[in-house]
Amino acid sequence: MPTIKLPDGKSLSFSRKITGFEIAKKISKSLSKQALIMSVDNQLKDLDHLIENDCSIKIFTSKDSEGLETIRHDTAHILAMAVQELFPGTQVTIGPVIENGFYYDFARKESFTQEDLNKIEIKMKEIVDRNEPTFKEVWKRNKAISHFKDKGEIYKAKIIEDIPESEDVSIYFHGKWNDLCRGPHLSSTGKIGKYFKLTKVSGAYWRGDSNNEMLQRIYGTSWSNQKDLDDYLKRIEEAEKRDHRKLGKEMDLFHFREDSPGSVFWHEKGWNLFQKLINYMRAKQKRAGYKEINTPEILDKSLWEKSGHWEKFGEHMYTSTTPDEKVFAIKPMNCPGCVQVFNQGLKSYRDLPLRMSEFGKVHRYEPSGSLHGLLRVRAFTQDDAHIFCTEDQITNECLSITNLILEIYKDLGFTNVLLQFSDRPKKRVGDDKIWDRAESALLKAIKQSKLKYEINKGEGAFYGPKIDFVLRDSIERDWQCGTLQVDLNLPGRLGASFVDKDGSKKIPVMLHRALFGSLERFIGILIEHYSGKLPFWINPLQAMVIPVSDEFDSYAKQVNEKVKNVGINCEVDLKNHNLNYKIREHSLSKIPLLLICGKKEVDSNTVTIRRLDSNKQENMELKIFLKKFAALNKAPLN
């Protein structure tokens, strides 16, 4: 005689055991049609799960994330089903739901081709049409193991072997096909709908371990209706359109080439953007009390041994051997060099906190498969700084670093920032008491900043806890950029010290911090965030003067000179093309201002402005234009 509590507070009583279906039907006809799964006392269950006792239940449809996830999970199952129907002998492994879709990993000798994907998709739709009933059976663990072994499903058997011996396992059937699965699932394959698409096939290591063999992973996306599927595919397309590698080429900012994979060849415009960002940060840092230094790119191997880098990161370091057989390493980080600058001369507690910044170019031998445009390179410029301070100063310093980082992100158009706090990892150096103090100082700073944060347990660096700054771009993607790390290790290793009030020598705490992280990477993010339409003040080519015909070339040249003289990057287009052509060309290359000069402008000493993404014309006296835009060209230093 179960009494069922519903989310709206009402209860229903039944005189016998009852399934979710029946409850849904009782509530309303439309709900019973839309119902996909349910939760019983907050545990997700199949709709045909038999309820015997009093409980509270909630029924989910495709509008709930639980419902949509189940659709995706079911789609992954019918993917596996379709693959095994089409390619007998293929072994199944795991097939979880991921953001926007799902994947399934298969073990098969031959590789899946794009045509195979199309065939599989057709077969999946067939399975939906067959509307095979889905049901669950609970088996003894050992029965399941021998069942899958008999079928030749070695991977599945291994997965079950990892389940504790005392536990039973649930096996889901879609018609005859079955798979080990926790569930829940929809009541039949027809419920899935056909709003899915297989997107790509790739390799993936068994159990995510690169020591294991490689499986084949098929990715797909799945939705509850055609519109959501179309919207998703459109979003992917949109992201491709703003790919910084494509835009960088089109905008003539940089290129890559075989001679130096993972290193950027910056063109004039790209380098201009780069310098503008650096100059802006210089000004911000000067106000925040930083002193800028610069240290060598190449340092003797022995320093890297002393710092611990050689042992820990040696495989990612480039080295250089001189003709007389000395081994130098090209710096993968700036910190050891910076500590050497600190070590010059005696430091007093009065010098602390000492904030030293460095735009240091570092080289790291990244695995070839990880390289990706500007976002993952082998040579990059860090907007680095190291702050030497006492333990008492950690909280305040962290707070001002956090503020600096957020100001800079805001100026560049990023307001949605998430902090991630990482505490002590298993492999670490230093006393636990020191870790306690460092973690609490850092956490205190986060709490005082009142920003949203999450905790990544055990993800800290081996030398200290850290905060990472993750920013969200205009199409809702997250990028980890800034970082702030407390270092309890390096200053001691490299012999840094200061003279304290009582005259004794003490080891300072060192904070590592980067604002963007890597200038290269950040520029890649900026390009994608703005779809190439960079804000005026950092835009490398801000204006193009276009004469209406060559009769007005000399006026156009004069305008160009005057605009350049107020510090705006400007060019004049004297090419043999008509006005329409030039407007199209320069609009496509995303120049923010087009300055049109014809008879009207010459006569009145004006320019006509056409802004990017607007077909309005704005006539303005040249003098006023220069004043107005010179002001807009200033970096936003508050």
Q: Which residues here bind RNA, judged by CB under 7 A?
A: 111, 113, 200-205, 208-210, 214, 216-217, 245, 249, 256-258, 261-262, 309, 312-313, 316-317, 332, 364, 366-373, 376, 461-462, 548-551, 575-581, 583-585, 587-588, 594, 596, 598-601, 608, 610, 612-613, 615, 617
Measured CA to CA, the distance from residue 72 to residue 49 in angstroms comes to 20
| 185 vs 217 by CB, closer to RNA | 217
Q: How far is the CB of 217 from RNA (least distance, A)?
A: 5
Instruction: Return the bridge partners of 91, or none.
Output: 107
480 is catalytic: no
- Output the CA–CA distances (angstroms, integers) from residue 338 to 206, 291, 343, 510, 538, in the order listed: 42, 12, 9, 11, 29
HEC-encoded secondary structure of 471-517? EECCCCCEEEEEEEEEECCHHHHCCCCEECCCCCEECCEEEEEEEEE
Q: How far is the CB of 399 from RNA (least distance, A)?
A: 23
CB 22 within 8 A of CB 2: no
SS3 69: helix
Among 77, 123, 156, 386, the active-site one is 386
Measured CA to CA, the distance from residue 517 to residue 272 in angstroms comes to 19
In which residue are the tokens 């930083």 written?
290
- Dihedrals phi, psi of 141, to nearest 5 degrees: -55, -45
Distance of CA 479 to the CA centre of its chain: 4
Query: Kindly report the CA angle at 239 between 236 and 245, in degrees rounded to 5?
Result: 130
Q: How far is the CB of 450 from RNA (least distance, A)?
A: 27
Contacts of 352 (CB under 8 A, 6+ apart): 388, 389, 390, 393, 498, 508
- Output the CA–CA distances (angstroms, integers) from residue 114 to 118, 119, 201, 333, 437, in the order listed: 7, 9, 8, 42, 55
CB 467 within 8 A of CB 419: yes
382 is catalytic: yes
| 171 vs 597 by CB, closer to RNA | 597
581-617: buried (b, 16+ CB within 10 Å) or exposed (e) per residue? ebbeebbeebbbbbbbbbeebbeeebbbbbebeeeee
User: Which residue in 610, 618, 469, 525 sits closest to 245, CA to CA?
Assistant: 525
| 18 vs 579 by CB, closer to RNA | 579
| 129 vs 305 by CB, closer to RNA | 305
Q: How far is the CB of 158 from RNA (least distance, A)?
A: 17
| 21 vs 313 by CB, closer to RNA | 313
Q: How far is the CB of 107 from RNA (least distance, A)?
A: 11
Among 364, 424, 521, 590, the active-site one is 364
In which residue are the tokens 């560049």 written?
412
Q: How far is the CB of 456 from RNA (least distance, A)?
A: 11
| 33 vs 575 by CB, closer to RNA | 575
| 146 vs 617 by CB, closer to RNA | 617
Measured CA to CA, the distance from residue 276 to residue 563 in angstroms comes to 18
| 182 vs 584 by CB, closer to RNA | 584
300 is catalytic: no
386 is catalytic: yes
Among 46, 179, 384, 423, the active-site one is 384
33 is catalytic: no
Q: How far is the CB of 1 from RNA (least distance, A)?
A: 49
Measured CA to CA, the distance from residue 497 to residue 504 in angstroms comes to 10
Measured CA to CA, the distance from residue 222 to residue 225 in angstroms comes to 9
| 505 vs 584 by CB, closer to RNA | 584
| 167 vs 258 by CB, closer to RNA | 258
Among 58, 72, 363, 512, the active-site one is 512
Among 244, 466, 582, 610, the active-site one is 466
User: Which residue in 294, 414, 310, 424 sits closest to 361, CA to CA?
Assistant: 294
Token pair for residue 65? 């994330």
Q: How far is the CB of 109 from RNA (least distance, A)?
A: 9
Measured CA to CA, the distance from residue 229 to residue 250 in angstroms comes to 30
Q: How far is the CB of 212 from RNA (least distance, A)?
A: 9
Contacts of 6 (CB under 8 A, 6+ apart): 12, 27, 56, 57, 58
Token pair for residue 511? 């904070």
466 is catalytic: yes
User: Which residue in 485, 477, 483 sits closest to 416, CA to CA?
Assistant: 477
Q: How far is the CB of 384 from RNA (least distance, A)?
A: 13
73 is catalytic: no
Active site residues: 335, 364, 382, 384, 386, 466, 512
